[in-house]
Chain A
Amino acid sequence: MCSLCGVLGGRGHWTDTSSHPEAFTHVEQPTRRRERQERTRLVNTVLDHYGLSLSDWAGSSYVLKTKTGQTALVENLTELWANAEQLTKHDFDPLDEALIDSLAAKAAR
């Protein structure tokens, strides 16, 4: 369900390769599970900068959690960022220099 408009159904999110197999001529098609694992791992590297975490929920949704225990159920990456901003009342800006420096430092480790 789309948490913004509250309606069921819809095409898979544009970031899901399994929802758009025709667009990805994979040399080696990753499984949906592996794709979700990798997405969760990478998102957590970013969310760590803000003190949040994400976990996969039954292979169908994700649970976003703050350090104080507030949670939100999100379906996809678009919903993730909107909910993260709502929960924390902070801007999640990928162009923020502090975030870029933090991610670059993590990548260099």
Chain B
Amino acid sequence: MGEYAALIPINVVTGFLGSGKTTLLQRLLAAPDLKDTAVLVNEFGEVGLDHHLIESAEESTLLLDNGCLCCAVRDDLQGALRDLFSRRERGEIPKFERVVIETSGLADPVPIAYTILAEPVIQHHFRLGNLVATIDAVNGPSQLERFPESVKQAAIADRLIITKTDLAADETVAALTASLRKLNASAPLYDASEAPGPTALFTEDLYSSGDKRAEIEGWLGEASHDGHDHAHADNVESFAVTFDEPLDWTAFGIWLTMLLNRHGENVLRVKGMLNVIGVADPVLINGVQHIVHPPSHLAGWPDADHRSRIVFIVRGIDRARIERSLAAFNGLANPTQVLAAPAPIRLAAQGR
């Protein structure tokens, strides 16, 4: 990976009130792998964190002119991260190699992601790492039914952790697991009692130097599960689309930027592995609402299946229309100007 991978990763730990975020962090931060980690918390909860570098950030948001709530710079975070980096460079605090942000229970994590990816100073020093969501096995099911904040936290997460499984009946945990799978089929899901470690939760991500195949297989394997049953508050569903023919990158960029401009609030996640015309390796795309990470690539195709596969987690957007729309945009590109002429694009929805 290039310079983007060398930036300081920021992991965000989100989860509803009392879902066990601090307890999880307490355990993880004791691991040697995370000894050089700075922690930012929105609020100090009942469980204390014993860590050498903890900063508090008051939650406040600076809304940009476009008025979109997800594209808001969290000015508390902007100030805290700039200050943290400045003190690190001056040698006033240890040279941390990672930052973990623990959000407040009702926080929307997307403005945090936007601040990290788009704030002009922060984006030169930090990158967004995995977003980890905790869901309480006892109260999680009712929270998912009643609170859109809870649904969104789980839907956009890169890692899901069910906590307090020892306090809930097995069938409750199984139903919650099924509900989370419908909401976000592509994120690895862990039981907190099995103590998933910092490698699985934080350090292995799309930009780390490790093998990304497991990450991609997680995205695409589980994503074939279609989430059409709405057992939650916000009508969120996840689905995957598969494109038989290679995509034109320029046309794809035009299409996705246009889609996210108009529907970004309802495209909670989009991630995929693309077969791009003229590019040997698969190109990986990863977006959260209006925000798209820099693209990355996988060194070689995982198997003989070289089709483009894109996972969407959306609210009230019709899959067939996404397929038709992208096919129409891709058809505009003149393949003779790029490389070999592919056959006209044919779309097939991936599903069971």
Name A residues whose Cβ lies closer than 8 Å to a Cβ of B: 2, 4-5, 7-11, 14-15, 17, 19-28, 30, 35, 38-39, 42-43, 45-46, 76-78, 80-82, 85, 91-95, 97, 99-100, 103-104, 106-108
**Which one, B249, B317, B332, contacts A45 given CB within 8 A?**
B332
| Residues on the A chain within 8 Å of B254, using CB | 15, 39, 42-43, 46, 77
| Residues on the A chain within 8 Å of B255, using CB | 94
With A11-B123, A103-B331, A107-B332 already in contact, the answer to whether A77 and B297 are too (CB < 8 A) is no
B64 in contact (CB, < 8 A): yes
Q: How far is the CA of A42 from the CA of B255 in the complex (A)?
A: 10
Q: Are A107 and B331 in contact (CB under 8 A)?
A: yes
Q: How far is the CA of A57 from the CA of B346 in the complex (A)?
A: 35
**Which one, A11, A92, A103, contacts B261 given CB within 8 A?**
A92
Q: Are B2 and A94 in contact (CB under 8 A)?
A: no
Which A-chain residue is minimally distant from B295 (CB atoms)?
Answer: A23
Tell which of B4, B254, B290, B324 has the most Cβ of chain A within 10 Å: B254
Against A, the Cβ 8 Å flags (1 = close, 0 = not) of B294-319 are 11110000000000000000000110
Q: Which bracket fits the contact residues of B? A: 35 or more
With A26-B279, A78-B261 already in contact, the answer to whether A42 and B296 are too (CB < 8 A) is no
* Interface locus among B50-58, B65-73, B173-181: B65-73
| Residues on the A chain within 8 Å of B262, using CB | 81, 91-95
| Residues on the B chain within 8 Å of A21, using CB | 2
Q: Are A95 and B317 in contact (CB under 8 A)?
A: yes
Name B residues whose Cβ lies closer than 8 Å to a Cβ of A: 1-2, 4, 64-66, 71, 73, 118, 120, 123-124, 249-251, 253-255, 257-263, 276, 278-281, 283-284, 290, 292-297, 317-318, 321-322, 324-325, 327-329, 331-333, 337, 339
With A11-B123, A81-B261 already in contact, the answer to whether A26 and B328 are too (CB < 8 A) is no
Q: Are A23 and B328 in contact (CB under 8 A)?
A: no
Q: Are A20 and B295 in contact (CB under 8 A)?
A: yes
Q: How far is the CA of A28 from the CA of B337 in the complex (A)?
A: 12
Contacts A9-B120, A28-B278, A103-B329 known; list 11 others, CB within 8 Å.
A4-B66, A10-B120, A19-B294, A20-B4, A22-B4, A24-B276, A38-B250, A42-B254, A78-B260, A81-B257, A92-B261
Q: How far is the CA of A65 from the CA of B294 in the complex (A)?
A: 29
Q: What is the distance, in angstroms, from B289's C-beta to the closest C-beta of chain A?
A: 12
**Which one, B66, B280, B290, B297, contacts A22 given CB within 8 A?**
B297
Q: How far is the CA of A2 from the CA of B342 in the complex (A)?
A: 36
Q: Are B278 and A46 in contact (CB under 8 A)?
A: no
List the 10 closest A-B pairs by CB distance, nearest first: A15-B253, A107-B331, A22-B2, A81-B261, A77-B257, A103-B328, A23-B295, A25-B281, A94-B258, A25-B280
With A4-B64, A39-B253, A94-B255 already in contact, the answer to whether A24 and B261 are too (CB < 8 A) is no
Q: Are B120 and A23 in contact (CB under 8 A)?
A: no
Which A-chain residue is minimally distant from B322 (CB atoms)?
Answer: A95
| Residues on the A chain within 8 Å of B325, using CB | 94-95, 99-100
